Structure 1
Amino acid sequence: MQSHFYRHDLVRRDVKQVVCSVCDTEQPVAQVCTNCGVGMGEYFCDICKFFDDDTGKQQFHCDECGICRVGGQENFFHCDKCGSCYSVTLRGNHSCVENSMRHHCPICYEYLFDSMKDTSVMKCGHTMHLECYREMINRDKFCCPICSKSVIDMTREWKRIDEEIEATVMPEDYRYKKVWILCNDCNDTTQVYFHIIGQKCGHCSSYNTRTIAPPVLPQ
Protein backbone atom coordinates (compact mmCIF):
# COMPACT_ATOMS: atom_id res chain seq x y z
CA MET A 1 0.00 0.00 0.00
CA GLN A 2 1.37 3.40 -0.96
CA SER A 3 1.40 6.04 1.76
CA HIS A 4 1.08 9.75 1.14
CA PHE A 5 2.62 12.32 3.47
CA TYR A 6 1.68 15.95 3.40
CA ARG A 7 3.83 18.73 4.83
CA HIS A 8 1.96 21.54 6.56
CA ASP A 9 3.83 24.80 7.15
CA LEU A 10 2.62 26.62 10.24
CA VAL A 11 2.16 30.37 9.84
CA ARG A 12 2.81 31.33 13.45
CA ARG A 13 1.40 34.85 13.18
CA ASP A 14 -1.97 33.42 12.13
CA VAL A 15 -2.28 31.23 15.23
CA LYS A 16 -5.24 32.37 17.35
CA GLN A 17 -5.79 29.47 19.75
CA VAL A 18 -3.50 27.01 21.53
CA VAL A 19 -4.18 23.92 23.65
CA CYS A 20 -2.47 23.46 27.00
CA SER A 21 -0.60 20.14 27.00
CA VAL A 22 -1.22 19.76 30.76
CA CYS A 23 -4.97 20.39 31.12
CA ASP A 24 -6.07 20.27 27.47
CA THR A 25 -7.71 23.70 27.69
CA GLU A 26 -8.09 25.51 24.37
CA GLN A 27 -7.47 29.23 24.78
CA PRO A 28 -6.12 32.38 23.11
CA VAL A 29 -2.34 32.42 22.60
CA ALA A 30 -0.58 33.44 25.83
CA GLN A 31 2.52 32.57 27.83
CA VAL A 32 0.60 31.16 30.79
CA CYS A 33 -2.36 28.75 30.70
CA THR A 34 -5.56 30.55 31.74
CA ASN A 35 -6.89 27.39 33.39
CA CYS A 36 -4.06 25.63 35.24
CA GLY A 37 -1.47 28.42 35.28
CA VAL A 38 1.36 26.37 33.80
CA GLY A 39 3.96 28.31 31.82
CA MET A 40 3.92 27.36 28.16
CA GLY A 41 7.41 28.70 27.50
CA GLU A 42 10.17 30.56 29.33
CA TYR A 43 10.41 32.83 26.28
CA PHE A 44 7.23 33.99 24.57
CA CYS A 45 6.74 36.41 21.70
CA ASP A 46 3.17 37.61 21.27
CA ILE A 47 3.94 38.93 17.78
CA CYS A 48 5.51 35.78 16.34
CA LYS A 49 3.39 33.44 18.54
CA PHE A 50 6.64 31.75 19.44
CA PHE A 51 7.43 29.72 22.58
CA ASP A 52 10.84 28.46 23.73
CA ASP A 53 12.09 26.97 27.01
CA ASP A 54 15.79 27.45 26.25
CA THR A 55 16.43 31.02 27.41
CA GLY A 56 20.16 30.46 27.03
CA LYS A 57 19.69 31.40 23.39
CA GLN A 58 18.99 34.99 24.53
CA GLN A 59 16.01 35.36 22.20
CA PHE A 60 14.69 38.77 21.25
CA HIS A 61 12.19 40.14 18.77
CA CYS A 62 13.32 42.63 16.12
CA ASP A 63 10.43 44.81 14.94
CA GLU A 64 12.28 45.82 11.74
CA CYS A 65 13.14 42.24 10.78
CA GLY A 66 9.70 41.08 11.89
CA ILE A 67 11.04 37.88 13.45
CA CYS A 68 12.62 36.63 16.67
CA ARG A 69 16.38 36.25 16.75
CA VAL A 70 18.90 34.76 19.18
CA GLY A 71 22.10 36.08 20.71
CA GLY A 72 20.95 38.94 22.96
CA GLN A 73 19.40 42.20 21.77
CA GLU A 74 22.28 44.22 23.25
CA ASN A 75 24.69 42.44 20.91
CA PHE A 76 22.90 43.39 17.70
CA PHE A 77 21.67 46.40 15.77
CA HIS A 78 19.34 46.58 12.79
CA CYS A 79 20.82 48.02 9.58
CA ASP A 80 17.97 49.59 7.64
CA LYS A 81 19.73 49.43 4.24
CA CYS A 82 20.98 45.86 4.59
CA GLY A 83 17.56 44.93 6.02
CA SER A 84 18.75 42.72 8.85
CA CYS A 85 20.30 42.56 12.32
CA TYR A 86 24.09 42.61 12.49
CA SER A 87 26.59 42.30 15.33
CA VAL A 88 27.28 45.63 17.06
CA THR A 89 30.92 45.22 16.01
CA LEU A 90 29.76 45.99 12.44
CA ARG A 91 27.97 49.25 13.31
CA GLY A 92 29.54 51.83 11.00
CA ASN A 93 32.09 49.21 10.02
CA HIS A 94 30.60 47.41 7.02
CA SER A 95 29.70 48.09 3.39
CA CYS A 96 25.93 48.31 3.06
CA VAL A 97 24.24 46.28 0.33
CA GLU A 98 20.48 46.69 0.05
CA ASN A 99 18.70 43.63 1.46
CA SER A 100 22.02 41.76 1.58
CA MET A 101 20.62 39.10 3.94
CA ARG A 102 17.48 38.40 1.95
CA HIS A 103 19.07 35.88 -0.37
CA HIS A 104 20.55 32.40 -0.22
CA CYS A 105 24.06 31.64 0.99
CA PRO A 106 26.12 31.45 -2.23
CA ILE A 107 27.91 28.33 -0.93
CA CYS A 108 25.25 26.08 0.67
CA TYR A 109 22.20 27.91 -0.73
CA GLU A 110 20.33 28.07 2.59
CA TYR A 111 18.22 31.23 2.98
CA LEU A 112 20.24 33.61 5.16
CA PHE A 113 17.63 35.99 6.58
CA ASP A 114 16.12 33.54 9.07
CA SER A 115 19.02 31.10 9.31
CA MET A 116 20.10 30.08 12.81
CA LYS A 117 23.75 29.81 11.73
CA ASP A 118 26.32 32.59 12.24
CA THR A 119 26.73 34.88 9.25
CA SER A 120 29.83 36.57 7.87
CA VAL A 121 29.63 40.01 6.25
CA MET A 122 32.46 40.34 3.75
CA LYS A 123 34.39 43.49 2.85
CA CYS A 124 32.17 43.99 -0.20
CA GLY A 125 29.01 43.87 1.97
CA HIS A 126 27.73 40.54 0.67
CA THR A 127 26.94 37.80 3.16
CA MET A 128 27.26 34.06 3.62
CA HIS A 129 27.33 31.60 6.49
CA LEU A 130 30.45 31.96 8.64
CA GLU A 131 31.23 28.24 8.34
CA CYS A 132 30.86 28.45 4.55
CA TYR A 133 33.15 31.50 4.47
CA ARG A 134 35.83 29.67 6.48
CA GLU A 135 35.60 26.62 4.22
CA MET A 136 35.96 28.87 1.16
CA ILE A 137 39.11 30.50 2.59
CA ASN A 138 40.54 27.11 3.58
CA ARG A 139 40.16 26.05 -0.05
CA ASP A 140 42.19 29.10 -1.15
CA LYS A 141 39.19 30.88 -2.65
CA PHE A 142 39.57 34.56 -1.77
CA CYS A 143 36.92 36.23 -3.94
CA CYS A 144 33.28 36.91 -3.14
CA PRO A 145 31.15 34.35 -5.04
CA ILE A 146 28.65 37.11 -5.83
CA CYS A 147 30.70 40.12 -6.98
CA SER A 148 34.22 38.61 -7.31
CA LYS A 149 35.88 41.24 -5.10
CA SER A 150 38.74 40.12 -2.84
CA VAL A 151 37.43 39.30 0.64
CA ILE A 152 40.75 39.50 2.52
CA ASP A 153 43.90 41.65 2.35
CA MET A 154 45.79 40.25 -0.66
CA THR A 155 48.83 42.58 -0.47
CA ARG A 156 51.30 39.76 0.23
CA GLU A 157 49.87 37.62 -2.57
CA TRP A 158 50.09 40.49 -5.06
CA LYS A 159 53.74 41.03 -4.06
CA ARG A 160 54.45 37.33 -4.61
CA ILE A 161 52.93 37.53 -8.10
CA ASP A 162 55.01 40.67 -8.81
CA GLU A 163 58.16 38.70 -8.02
CA GLU A 164 57.03 35.71 -10.10
CA ILE A 165 56.26 37.91 -13.11
CA GLU A 166 59.61 39.67 -12.80
CA ALA A 167 61.35 36.29 -12.88
CA THR A 168 59.30 35.01 -15.83
CA VAL A 169 60.23 36.68 -19.11
CA MET A 170 57.59 36.39 -21.82
CA PRO A 171 58.57 35.17 -25.34
CA GLU A 172 59.44 37.94 -27.77
CA ASP A 173 56.15 37.55 -29.69
CA TYR A 174 54.11 38.33 -26.56
CA ARG A 175 56.42 40.63 -24.63
CA TYR A 176 54.92 43.89 -25.85
CA LYS A 177 51.33 42.87 -26.42
CA LYS A 178 48.70 44.74 -24.44
CA VAL A 179 45.25 43.77 -23.21
CA TRP A 180 42.31 45.63 -21.73
CA ILE A 181 41.43 44.40 -18.27
CA LEU A 182 38.64 45.00 -15.77
CA CYS A 183 39.60 44.98 -12.11
CA ASN A 184 37.16 43.09 -9.91
CA ASP A 185 38.37 44.99 -6.83
CA CYS A 186 38.13 48.64 -7.95
CA ASN A 187 36.03 48.23 -11.14
CA ASP A 188 38.55 50.27 -13.13
CA THR A 189 39.38 49.45 -16.75
CA THR A 190 43.00 49.76 -17.87
CA GLN A 191 45.26 48.63 -20.70
CA VAL A 192 48.31 46.68 -19.51
CA TYR A 193 51.03 44.46 -20.89
CA PHE A 194 49.89 40.87 -21.26
CA HIS A 195 51.53 38.23 -19.07
CA ILE A 196 50.70 34.56 -18.79
CA ILE A 197 50.80 34.68 -14.96
CA GLY A 198 48.42 37.58 -14.52
CA GLN A 199 47.46 41.15 -15.36
CA LYS A 200 47.98 43.85 -12.73
CA CYS A 201 45.42 46.62 -12.36
CA GLY A 202 47.01 49.97 -13.19
CA HIS A 203 44.80 51.70 -10.66
CA CYS A 204 44.85 49.64 -7.42
CA SER A 205 47.65 47.11 -8.22
CA SER A 206 45.34 44.12 -7.75
CA TYR A 207 45.75 40.95 -9.77
CA ASN A 208 42.09 40.12 -9.27
CA THR A 209 41.40 41.11 -12.86
CA ARG A 210 39.88 39.70 -16.02
CA THR A 211 40.70 40.30 -19.67
CA ILE A 212 37.94 42.07 -21.59
CA ALA A 213 39.73 42.45 -24.95
CA PRO A 214 42.27 40.27 -26.77
CA PRO A 215 46.00 41.14 -26.89
CA VAL A 216 46.90 44.11 -29.07
CA LEU A 217 50.17 44.36 -30.97
CA PRO A 218 52.14 47.62 -30.50
CA GLN A 219 51.79 50.09 -33.36
Structure 2
Amino acid sequence: MAATAAGCQHYVRKCLLKAPCCDKFYVCRLCHDDEEKHKMDRFQVREVKCAVCDRVQEAQQACRGCGVTFSEYYCDICHLYDKNKEQFHCQPCGICRIGPRRKFFHCQKCNLCLANDLQGKHKCVENVSRQNCAVCMEDIHTSRIGAQVMPCGHLLHKTCFELMCRNGAYRCPLCMQSAINMTEYWEERDMEIAHTPMPPEFKDQKVKILCNDCQNRCTVSFHVLGMKCSSCGSYNTSQD
Protein backbone atom coordinates (compact mmCIF):
# COMPACT_ATOMS: atom_id res chain seq x y z
CA MET A 1 0.00 0.00 0.00
CA ALA A 2 1.42 3.39 -1.02
CA ALA A 3 2.11 5.99 1.63
CA THR A 4 1.76 9.72 1.11
CA ALA A 5 3.33 12.66 2.91
CA ALA A 6 0.26 12.61 5.13
CA GLY A 7 0.43 8.87 5.89
CA CYS A 8 -3.03 7.29 5.99
CA GLN A 9 -6.49 7.94 7.41
CA HIS A 10 -5.28 6.70 10.80
CA TYR A 11 -1.83 8.23 11.28
CA VAL A 12 0.38 11.05 10.00
CA ARG A 13 3.70 9.46 8.99
CA LYS A 14 6.15 9.20 6.09
CA CYS A 15 6.96 5.52 6.23
CA LEU A 16 5.40 2.10 5.85
CA LEU A 17 5.70 -0.76 8.33
CA LYS A 18 6.87 -4.18 7.18
CA ALA A 19 4.38 -6.62 8.67
CA PRO A 20 6.33 -9.46 10.33
CA CYS A 21 3.41 -11.82 9.72
CA CYS A 22 3.29 -11.55 5.91
CA ASP A 23 6.29 -9.35 4.93
CA LYS A 24 3.97 -6.83 3.24
CA PHE A 25 4.30 -3.06 3.68
CA TYR A 26 1.42 -1.08 5.14
CA VAL A 27 1.19 2.46 6.45
CA CYS A 28 -0.13 1.15 9.79
CA ARG A 29 -1.43 -1.95 11.55
CA LEU A 30 -5.02 -0.80 11.07
CA CYS A 31 -4.57 -0.53 7.29
CA HIS A 32 -3.04 -4.02 7.39
CA ASP A 33 -5.84 -5.51 9.47
CA ASP A 34 -8.49 -4.00 7.17
CA GLU A 35 -7.05 -5.81 4.14
CA GLU A 36 -5.62 -9.04 5.53
CA LYS A 37 -7.33 -11.96 7.26
CA HIS A 38 -4.94 -11.81 10.19
CA LYS A 39 -3.73 -9.21 12.68
CA MET A 40 -0.38 -7.48 12.63
CA ASP A 41 1.66 -7.40 15.84
CA ARG A 42 3.16 -3.91 15.78
CA PHE A 43 5.52 -4.78 18.63
CA GLN A 44 7.28 -7.29 16.33
CA VAL A 45 7.88 -4.77 13.53
CA ARG A 46 11.60 -4.59 12.74
CA GLU A 47 11.74 -2.78 9.39
CA VAL A 48 10.10 0.21 7.72
CA LYS A 49 10.20 1.67 4.21
CA CYS A 50 10.65 5.39 3.63
CA ALA A 51 7.69 6.89 1.72
CA VAL A 52 10.01 9.47 0.16
CA CYS A 53 13.02 7.45 -1.10
CA ASP A 54 11.68 3.88 -0.73
CA ARG A 55 14.66 2.73 1.33
CA VAL A 56 13.94 -0.28 3.55
CA GLN A 57 15.69 0.00 6.91
CA GLU A 58 15.40 -0.86 10.58
CA ALA A 59 12.58 0.88 12.44
CA GLN A 60 13.67 4.35 13.60
CA GLN A 61 12.42 7.94 13.53
CA ALA A 62 14.41 9.32 10.58
CA CYS A 63 15.34 7.83 7.22
CA ARG A 64 18.96 6.74 6.85
CA GLY A 65 18.76 7.35 3.13
CA CYS A 66 17.24 10.78 2.55
CA GLY A 67 17.17 12.01 6.15
CA VAL A 68 13.42 12.75 6.23
CA THR A 69 11.80 12.53 9.66
CA PHE A 70 9.10 9.90 9.51
CA SER A 71 6.94 11.46 12.23
CA GLU A 72 6.92 14.03 15.03
CA TYR A 73 6.35 11.28 17.59
CA TYR A 74 7.95 7.85 17.53
CA CYS A 75 7.92 5.06 20.11
CA ASP A 76 10.54 2.35 19.59
CA ILE A 77 8.50 -0.10 21.69
CA CYS A 78 5.09 0.26 20.02
CA HIS A 79 6.59 1.36 16.69
CA LEU A 80 4.02 4.14 16.71
CA TYR A 81 4.66 6.95 14.24
CA ASP A 82 2.31 9.93 14.36
CA LYS A 83 2.02 13.69 14.66
CA ASN A 84 2.70 15.13 18.09
CA LYS A 85 -0.31 14.69 20.40
CA GLU A 86 1.83 14.77 23.53
CA GLN A 87 1.80 10.98 23.55
CA PHE A 88 3.62 8.98 26.18
CA HIS A 89 4.41 5.31 26.53
CA CYS A 90 2.88 3.81 29.67
CA GLN A 91 4.97 0.86 30.76
CA PRO A 92 2.23 -0.87 32.86
CA CYS A 93 -0.32 -0.43 30.03
CA GLY A 94 2.27 -1.62 27.54
CA ILE A 95 1.19 0.90 24.89
CA CYS A 96 1.33 4.60 24.05
CA ARG A 97 -1.37 6.92 25.33
CA ILE A 98 -2.37 10.38 24.12
CA GLY A 99 -1.19 12.83 26.75
CA PRO A 100 0.06 14.95 28.16
CA ARG A 101 1.44 12.52 30.72
CA ARG A 102 0.95 14.95 33.62
CA LYS A 103 -2.84 14.77 33.20
CA PHE A 104 -3.04 11.01 33.71
CA PHE A 105 -2.26 8.38 36.32
CA HIS A 106 -2.08 4.61 36.01
CA CYS A 107 -4.53 2.74 38.24
CA GLN A 108 -2.81 -0.49 39.22
CA LYS A 109 -6.01 -2.44 39.88
CA CYS A 110 -7.88 -1.27 36.78
CA ASN A 111 -4.57 -1.62 34.88
CA LEU A 112 -5.43 1.50 32.91
CA CYS A 113 -4.39 5.13 32.53
CA LEU A 114 -7.13 7.46 33.77
CA ALA A 115 -7.54 11.23 33.97
CA ASN A 116 -6.22 12.75 37.19
CA ASP A 117 -9.67 13.96 38.24
CA LEU A 118 -10.74 10.30 38.60
CA GLN A 119 -7.99 9.48 41.12
CA GLY A 120 -9.71 8.23 44.27
CA LYS A 121 -13.11 8.93 42.66
CA HIS A 122 -13.72 5.88 40.50
CA LYS A 123 -14.74 2.32 41.30
CA CYS A 124 -11.86 -0.04 40.56
CA VAL A 125 -12.56 -3.16 38.50
CA GLU A 126 -9.56 -5.45 38.13
CA ASN A 127 -8.08 -5.41 34.60
CA VAL A 128 -11.21 -3.66 33.33
CA SER A 129 -9.62 -2.41 30.11
CA ARG A 130 -8.73 -5.96 29.04
CA GLN A 131 -12.41 -6.59 28.32
CA ASN A 132 -14.05 -5.77 25.00
CA CYS A 133 -16.56 -2.94 24.78
CA ALA A 134 -19.95 -4.44 25.68
CA VAL A 135 -21.66 -2.40 22.93
CA CYS A 136 -19.49 -2.98 19.85
CA MET A 137 -17.54 -5.98 21.20
CA GLU A 138 -14.26 -4.44 19.99
CA ASP A 139 -11.05 -4.09 22.01
CA ILE A 140 -10.87 -1.15 24.40
CA HIS A 141 -7.29 -1.38 25.68
CA THR A 142 -5.52 -0.70 22.38
CA SER A 143 -8.35 1.22 20.70
CA ARG A 144 -7.73 4.71 19.30
CA ILE A 145 -11.19 5.64 20.63
CA GLY A 146 -11.22 6.94 24.19
CA ALA A 147 -12.86 4.99 26.99
CA GLN A 148 -15.79 6.15 29.12
CA VAL A 149 -15.55 5.13 32.78
CA MET A 150 -19.03 4.53 34.18
CA PRO A 151 -19.95 4.85 37.89
CA CYS A 152 -19.89 1.04 38.21
CA GLY A 153 -16.26 1.02 37.04
CA HIS A 154 -16.89 -0.71 33.71
CA LEU A 155 -15.71 0.80 30.43
CA LEU A 156 -17.29 1.50 27.06
CA HIS A 157 -15.88 3.30 24.07
CA LYS A 158 -16.87 6.96 24.39
CA THR A 159 -18.64 6.80 21.03
CA CYS A 160 -20.54 3.67 22.07
CA PHE A 161 -21.50 5.25 25.40
CA GLU A 162 -22.82 8.36 23.64
CA LEU A 163 -24.77 6.22 21.16
CA MET A 164 -26.27 4.21 24.02
CA CYS A 165 -27.42 7.37 25.77
CA ARG A 166 -28.86 8.86 22.57
CA ASN A 167 -30.92 5.68 22.15
CA GLY A 168 -32.40 6.11 25.61
CA ALA A 169 -30.42 3.37 27.36
CA TYR A 170 -29.08 4.41 30.75
CA ARG A 171 -27.77 1.17 32.27
CA CYS A 172 -24.36 -0.49 32.02
CA PRO A 173 -24.73 -3.46 29.63
CA LEU A 174 -22.57 -5.57 31.96
CA CYS A 175 -23.98 -5.02 35.44
CA MET A 176 -27.22 -3.04 34.78
CA GLN A 177 -26.21 -0.25 37.17
CA SER A 178 -27.18 3.28 36.11
CA ALA A 179 -24.45 4.65 33.85
CA ILE A 180 -25.35 8.32 34.35
CA ASN A 181 -26.76 10.49 37.13
CA MET A 182 -30.47 9.66 37.02
CA THR A 183 -31.65 11.89 39.92
CA GLU A 184 -33.55 14.26 37.65
CA TYR A 185 -35.24 11.38 35.82
CA TRP A 186 -36.25 9.68 39.06
CA GLU A 187 -37.86 12.96 40.26
CA GLU A 188 -39.85 13.07 37.01
CA ARG A 189 -40.91 9.47 37.58
CA ASP A 190 -42.09 10.42 41.10
CA MET A 191 -44.32 13.10 39.55
CA GLU A 192 -45.71 10.71 36.92
CA ILE A 193 -46.57 8.09 39.53
CA ALA A 194 -48.16 10.68 41.83
CA HIS A 195 -50.46 11.70 38.98
CA THR A 196 -51.19 8.13 37.85
CA PRO A 197 -52.96 6.24 40.66
CA MET A 198 -53.33 2.49 40.31
CA PRO A 199 -56.82 0.92 40.08
CA PRO A 200 -58.33 0.02 43.48
CA GLU A 201 -57.65 -3.72 43.06
CA PHE A 202 -53.90 -2.99 42.75
CA LYS A 203 -53.64 -0.01 45.08
CA ASP A 204 -52.32 -1.96 48.08
CA GLN A 205 -50.39 -4.63 46.23
CA LYS A 206 -46.80 -5.08 47.48
CA VAL A 207 -43.88 -6.61 45.60
CA LYS A 208 -40.30 -7.55 46.45
CA ILE A 209 -37.69 -5.80 44.33
CA LEU A 210 -33.94 -5.85 43.77
CA CYS A 211 -32.23 -2.53 43.10
CA ASN A 212 -29.62 -2.66 40.33
CA ASP A 213 -27.95 0.49 41.68
CA CYS A 214 -27.47 -0.22 45.40
CA GLN A 215 -28.09 -4.01 45.31
CA ASN A 216 -30.55 -3.78 48.23
CA ARG A 217 -33.74 -5.81 48.39
CA CYS A 218 -36.95 -4.27 49.71
CA THR A 219 -40.74 -4.56 49.60
CA VAL A 220 -42.58 -1.67 47.94
CA SER A 221 -45.95 -0.77 46.42
CA PHE A 222 -46.48 -2.09 42.92
CA HIS A 223 -46.88 0.44 40.09
CA VAL A 224 -46.84 -0.12 36.35
CA LEU A 225 -44.58 2.94 35.86
CA GLY A 226 -41.90 1.57 38.14
CA MET A 227 -41.01 0.44 41.64
CA LYS A 228 -38.84 2.80 43.64
CA CYS A 229 -36.03 1.46 45.83
CA SER A 230 -36.68 2.49 49.41
CA SER A 231 -32.95 2.55 50.13
CA CYS A 232 -31.51 4.81 47.40
CA GLY A 233 -34.58 6.14 45.56
CA SER A 234 -33.67 4.53 42.21
CA TYR A 235 -36.23 3.19 39.79
CA ASN A 236 -33.60 0.96 38.22
CA THR A 237 -35.17 -2.07 39.87
CA SER A 238 -36.60 -5.45 39.02
CA GLN A 239 -39.01 -7.76 40.79
CA ASP A 240 -37.10 -10.13 43.02
Normalising by the smaller structure, the TM-score range is 0.7 to 0.9
Partner of 2:189: 161
Question: Where do residues 1-219 of structure 1 align in structure 2 (5 Å cutoff)?
Answer: 6-20=36-50, 27-34=57-64, 37-52=67-82, 54-55=83-84, 57-212=85-240
CA distance in 2: counterparts of 1:159 and 1:36, whole angstroms: 67
Q: Tell me: CA distance 1:159–1:88, structure 2 relative to 1, closer, same or farther (3 Å).
A: same
Per the TM alignment, residue 68 of structure 1 is displaced from its structure 2 partner at its CA by 1.4
- 1:72 CA displacement: 2.2
Indicate the residue corresponding to 1:216 in structure 2.
Answer: none
Residue by residue over 1:115-164, the C-alpha shift from the partner in whole angstroms, topping out at 9 and shown as x without a partner, is: 11122111111111222222322333222222111222222322222232
Larger Rg: 1
Q: TM-score, normalised by structure 2?
A: 0.75
Change (3 A) 1:135 1:30: closer
Aligned CA-pair RMSD: 2.4
Residues 169-203 of structure 1, C-alpha deviations (whole Å, 9 max, x = no match): 32232222221100011000111121222111121
SS in 1 for 2:201: coil
State the aligned residue count: 206
The range that moved more, 183-192 or 95-104, is: 95-104
> Judging changes above 3 Å, is the alpha-carbon distance between structure 1 residues 16 and 154 closer, same or farther for their aligned structure 2 residues?
closer
CA distance in 2, matches of 1:131, 1:22: 36
In structure 2, relative to structure 1, the CA distance for the partners of 1:50 and 1:99 (3 Å cut) is same
Structure 1 runs not aligned, ≥5 long? 213-219
Give the percent of matched residue pairs that are identical in Structure 1 and Structure 2.
45
Which structure 2 residue ranges, 5 or more long, are not aligned? 1-34
Task: Give the stretch that moved more between structures: 60-69 or 118-127.
Answer: 118-127
